[in-house]
Amino acid sequence: MGKSYRHSHKGYHDSDDSEDRGSRAIFVNLKEVFISESTVQKLLSRDGGQIEKMRVDYEDGREMVRCVLRHRAGGGYNVEDGRHRVIAAKLAGVCFIEALVVG
């Protein structure tokens, strides 16, 4: 679970050169982030404890690593990295999530 938290992850959130790679960090409305219901149920049954802890962390205002999203044909975004974080944020009632948009 270490890569879920900003202080312990050295990949996507260090975006000093993100513009050079064709990506940009933004805040995205979670209503625009697509995860199929079957994927949500699979992850909740497999990793429910991890997702619940993340939900509490979101509710407590803990800073999390950005999710990585890709534009979806027809609008919105698909999740490239951070499905657990997106599910936890939705369960916590968070409206916007910080994300790195790639592609």
Q: pLDDT of 7-50, one tens digit each?
A: 333 333 344 444 445 667 899 999 999 999 999 999 999 999 99
For residue 102, the SS3 value is strand
pLDDT in tens, 57-73: 999 999 999 999 999 99
How much is the pLDDT for 19?
Answer: 46
Beta-strand (E) ranges in the chain?
24-29, 33-34, 67-71, 77-81, 96-102
How much is the pLDDT for 10?
Answer: 35
Whether 68 contacts 82, CB under 8 Å? yes
**Length of the chain as a residue count:** 103
Domain architecture of the chain: domains with CATH: 20-102 (3.90.1530.10)
